[in-house]
Amino acid sequence: MKVVVTGGAGFLGQRLIGALCQRGRLTDAAGRERAIERIVAADQGRCGAPVADPRVSYATGDVADASFIGSLLDGDTDSVFHLAAVVSGEAERDFDLGMRVNLDGTRWLLEACRRQPQAPKLVFASSVAVFGQPLPEVVTDSTMPVPQASYGVQKLAGELLVGDFSRKGFVDGRCVRLPTVVVRPGKPNAAASSFASGIIREPLAGVQAICPVEPSTGMWMSSPSTAVAALVRAHELPASAWGSLRSLNLPGLTATVAQMIEALRQAAGEQVAARVRFQPDEQIARIVRSWPARFDTARARAMGFPQDADFASILRAYMAQYAPAAIR
Amino acid sequence: MKVVVTGGAGFLGQRLIGALCQRGRLTDAAGRERAIERIVAADQGRCGAPVADPRVSYATGDVADASFIGSLLDGDTDSVFHLAAVVSGEAERDFDLGMRVNLDGTRWLLEACRRQPQAPKLVFASSVAVFGQPLPEVVTDSTMPVPQASYGVQKLAGELLVGDFSRKGFVDGRCVRLPTVVVRPGKPNAAASSFASGIIREPLAGVQAICPVEPSTGMWMSSPSTAVAALVRAHELPASAWGSLRSLNLPGLTATVAQMIEALRQAAGEQVAARVRFQPDEQIARIVRSWPARFDTARARAMGFPQDADFASILRAYMAQYAPAAIR
């Protein structure tokens, strides 16, 4: 079978492609388990050290370009993982770019799916950013999303389209609302949540990190490996498990910035934890505060989606891979 | 001030234009009450006997054509009422037409608003069709919309865009979810709810009417005059009354098909009521059943939106205007 991963050169895309190569098999829309023969990783650029596997090829282009998307699927695609997006901070700064990539890009991808001879499976990486104030203390599966930033609006509109294209039988879509994924290695990005990785990653690398939000700010989080496992789980479940509700809040865990820094102090020492400096940025803080920090994800748990134990274990897994020397 | 009404040749559009001409004034986005100097009624065609008033002009074109929409607003528009839409049954049959008119049309209109020198007020006629199963017994202001037909998906996506364009300051938008408007005079249309007017209108005109849903089917309804008053109220409220929540469930009343026919029997006699024949149409019934029939519209009532007393009074108002001879 052929699998397309948009945003395939990104951090999560590369992790997902690695996991798919390792699995070797996926269940297609007809319920048959099949060997993965090809993975096409589509992105606007290349990454430093891409997953090297004979099954993986890389395509460079603009996901908001309908003809590029059409050429990727090319009538022979069984499954799509749609991760490409303009992140929250950037979508807020450049409204038109966000609309083009996050909304139009998703729509052209859905249209390309519709043109395949067999409706492919589509896993759409949505976000808890679809939620905004006013919010209950704990967000449940029946909480109404009222996004308060363009990124969340575009993701939610994309979910609606995935849902309707699925209802019409044009695609077999599944939307998962990812928690903030921490700890991301590499460089900061333009997501409003970028600091959540930065306040761990930079201190461990001996660099000062700036935290733009209050220590008491809570966030709903997931480790990279749990996020990737959730994307695969979303793909593997039969359509009947989704029914007419094609969007799902994923399990995660709640941690405040203060708790994250305390975990860093315990794992790597006072000197490392002291490298976080608080410097409020109201534009970022406003977006992050509008996101919910606590969920009851009963539906996702009943559907067998994985969950991290606690932030300390997320931190340990990151340090083991990227900063083993800093472990006390 | 200049007012643009899309769908201005339609039943509700004409009623609204009549009401605006009679009022003569509206409150602009800066809070100033101003005389209405021009009303541009935009639609794909002309209506039989359009509101004739020196302030009203008619423009024929495609609301999904960005250049047509741009020419309507033309840098001097203070207020827009966006009523143009492909109705529910048609949007379900012709998916691409619904996407083009209901989603793209709304988007190009928002972009045209954004290009005005002052952000105009925009009243967007959305629909209770944004809701679908699963639903609570009574829909409240915090019930999550899960549309189960393309029309509702496109309206809800439009609402999301109106909300975000408003948050960005590109427009001062207000989305009102209209109940099914009954009784509409004239011809049936392609809305799945068209029968709700037909089972009253046709019998009163001596014609047999076909009802495609069960007698027990409940619907959430509004009279035409209450719907028009709600559109004007939505426009007149200051932006502060809307806050960050730019979508609103409008007040209405619940009646079942059986109750409507009983009201017809009491008002016009057994012979008239007997002209309704039940002939199930599963495609229509499925769409109508997916809509909620009962609401608690606390927010709209607190905002001063009007409400009909009961179905009998809606029926009496219709008969007084369109079928006075049938009143017993």
Ordered per-residue pLDDT tens for chain B, 328 residues: 999 999 999 999 999 999 999 999 999 999 999 999 999 999 999 888 899 999 999 999 999 999 999 999 999 999 999 999 999 899 999 999 999 999 999 999 999 999 999 999 999 999 999 999 889 999 999 999 999 999 999 999 999 999 999 999 999 999 999 999 999 999 998 899 999 999 999 999 999 999 999 999 999 999 999 999 999 999 999 999 999 999 999 999 999 999 999 999 999 999 999 999 999 999 999 989 889 999 999 999 999 999 999 999 999 999 999 999 988 8
B64 within 8 A of B108, measured Cβ to Cβ = yes
Q: How many CA atoms lie within 13 A of B135 on its CB side?
A: 22
Q: Give the gap in angstroms from C-alpha A149 to the nearest C-alpha of chain B.
A: 7
Give B245's contacts (C-beta < 8 A, 6+ positions apart): A134, A146, B163
Same structural domain, A125 and A206: no
**Test the B interface: residue of A104, A160, A162, A171 with most B CBs within 10 Å:** A160
Per-residue pLDDT band at A46 (split at 50, 70, 90): confident
Would you place residue A217 in the very low, low, confident or very high pLDDT band (cuts 50, 70, 90)? very high
d(CA B275, CA B211): 10
Say whether B33 sits in a helix, a strand or coil.
strand
Please report the pLDDT score of residue A324 as a whole number. Answer: 93
User: What is the rounded CA–CA span in Å between residue A309 and residue A321?
Assistant: 18
Query: How is residue B149 annotated by DSSP?
Result: S
Nearest CA in chain B to A160: B153
CB contact under 8 A, A153 and B133: no
Q: How many other CB atoms are there within 10 angstroms of residue B181's CB atom?
A: 25
- Which residue out of B58, B151, B318, B322 is catalytically annotated? B151
**Minimal-distance CA residue of chain B relative to A107:** B99
Average pLDDT score, chain A: 96
The answer to whether the CB atoms of B245 and A160 lie below 8 A apart is: no
What residues of chain A lie within 8 A of the CB of B160, using their CB?
A: 147, 153, 156-157, 160
Minimum-distance CB partner of B148 among A157, A161, A244? A244
Nearest beta carbon to residue A148 from set B143, B153, B244: B244
Q: Note whether B146 contacts A245, CB cutoff 8 Å.
A: yes
User: Among all residues of chain A, which has the CA nearest to that of B131?
Assistant: A144
Give yes or no for a contact between B165 and B320, defined as CB atoms under 8 angstroms apart: no
Contact of A15 with A52, CB cutoff 8 Å: no
Among residues A121, A104, A106, the alpha carbon closest in space to that of A246 is found at: A121
- Cβ contact, residue pair A160, B156, below 8 Å: yes
State yes or no: is B151 an active-site residue.
Answer: yes
**B139 and B211 both lie in a single domain:** no
Tell me the CATH number at B273.
3.90.25.10
pLDDT of B252 reads 97
Residue A141: how many CA atoms within 13 Å on its side-chain side? 16
User: Cα(A311)–Cα(A182) distance, rounded to whole angstroms?
Assistant: 9
Domain for residue B188, yes or no? no
Q: Which domain holds residue B11?
A: 2-179+224-249
Residue B89 included in any domain:
yes
Q: How confident is the model at residue A48 (pLDDT cuts 50, 70, 90)?
A: confident
pLDDT score of B49? 84
Cβ proximity of B7 and B41 under 8 Å: no
What total number of domains does chain B contain?
A: 2
d(CA B122, CA B111): 12
What integer pLDDT is reported at residue B48 of this predicted model? Answer: 81
CATH number at residue A174: 3.40.50.720
On whether residue B92 sits in a domain, the answer given is yes
Instruction: Locate the chain A residue with the closest alpha carbon to B93.
Output: A168
- Does residue A185 form part of some domain? no
Are residues A65 and A43 both part of a single domain?
yes
Point out the residue among A95, A150, A164 whose CB comes nearest to the CB of B153. Answer: A164
| Residues in A lying within 8 Å of B, measured between beta carbons | 95, 132-134, 142-148, 150, 153, 156-157, 160-161, 163-164, 167-168, 244-245
Under 8 Å between Cβ of B113 and B122: yes
Residues of B in contact with A157 (CB under 8 A): 157, 160-161
Q: Could you tell me which chain A residue has the CA closest to the CA of B247?
A: A146
Query: Best of B107, B114, B126, B164 to disrupt the A interface by mutation (most A CBs within 10 Å)?
Result: B164
Between CA A66 and CA A87 the distance in angstroms is 20
Check: CB of residue B219 under 8 Å from CB of residue B291.
yes
Tokens 């009943």 -> residue:
A302
C-beta neighbour count of B60 within 10 angstroms: 12
Q: Are residues B113 and B238 in the same domain?
A: yes
CB contacts < 8 A (A, B): 48
**pLDDT above 90 (res A133):** no
Distance from CA of A93 to the nearest CA of B (A): 11
pLDDT of residue A49: 84
Please return the burial class of B209, using the count of CB atoms within 10 Å of its CB with bins 0-12, 13-18 and 19+: buried
Residue A233 CA, chain-centre distance (Å), reads 14
Here the ipTM equals 0.94
Q: Is residue B298 part of a domain?
A: no
- Its pTM stands at 0.96
Tell me the per-residue pLDDT of A229-260, one tens digit each, with 9 for 90 and over.
999 999 999 999 999 999 999 999 999 999 99
Q: Do B161 and B118 fall within a single domain? A: yes
State whether A165 and A229 are in the same domain: yes
> To probe the interface with B, which of A146, A159, A165, A299 has the most B CB atoms within 10 Å?
A146
Q: Where are the beta strands (DSSP E) in A63-208?
A: 79-82, 121-127, 172-178, 180-181
Classify residue A145 as exposed, middle or buried by CB count within 10 Å of its CB (0-12, 13-18, 19+): buried
Residue A187 lies in a domain: no
Q: Are B143 and A143 within 8 A, CB to CB?
A: no
Pure H helices in A24-121 = 66-73, 88-93, 95-98, 105-114
Structure tokens at A163: 């849902």
Question: What is the residue whose two structure tokens read 């820094």?
Answer: A261
A168 and B245 within 8 Å at the Cβ level: the answer is no
Q: Which residues of A are catalytic?
A: 151
Which residues, 6 or more positions from B250, have their beta carbon under 8 angstroms from its beta carbon?
B176, B177, B178, B179, B222, B227, B230, B297, B300, B305
Q: Do A153 and B144 touch (CB under 8 A)?
A: no
Residues A10, A118 within the same domain? yes
Which residue does chain A place closest to B150, by CA atoms? A164
Output the six-digit token pair for A159: 């979910």
DSSP secondary structure code for residue B251 in this structure: P
Judge: A153–B163 Cβ closer than 8 Å, yes or no: yes
pLDDT in tens, A286-326: 989 889 999 999 999 999 999 999 999 999 999 999 999 98
Residue B184 lies in a domain: no
Which amino acid is it at A246?
A: R
Exposure of B91 in the CB half-sphere (CA atoms within 13 A)? 25
Looking at the predicted structure, is the pLDDT value of residue A11 above 90? yes
Which residue do the tokens 């006072």 mark?
A: A270
Which tokens sit at B159? 């609402």
Pair B308, B252: CB distance under 8 Å = yes
Q: Return the axis-axis angle of helices A66-73 and A105-114, rounded to nearest 10°.
A: 40
Same domain for A230 and A318, yes or no, is no
pLDDT in tens, B218-247: 999 999 999 999 999 999 999 999 999 999
Q: Which residues of A touch B143 (CB under 8 A)?
A: 144
A51 and A170 housed in the same domain: yes
Q: Which pLDDT belongs to residue B245?
A: 95
Band of residue A134 on the pLDDT scale cut at 50, 70, 90: confident
Q: Is B302 among the domain residues? A: no
- Answer yes or no: do B97 and B71 share one domain: yes
A200/A64 same-domain check: no
B147 and A153 in contact by Cβ < 8 A? no
pLDDT tens, A81-129? 999 999 989 999 999 999 999 999 999 999 999 999 999 999 999 999 9
- Considering the domain architecture, whether residues A81 and A104 belong to the same structural domain is answered as yes
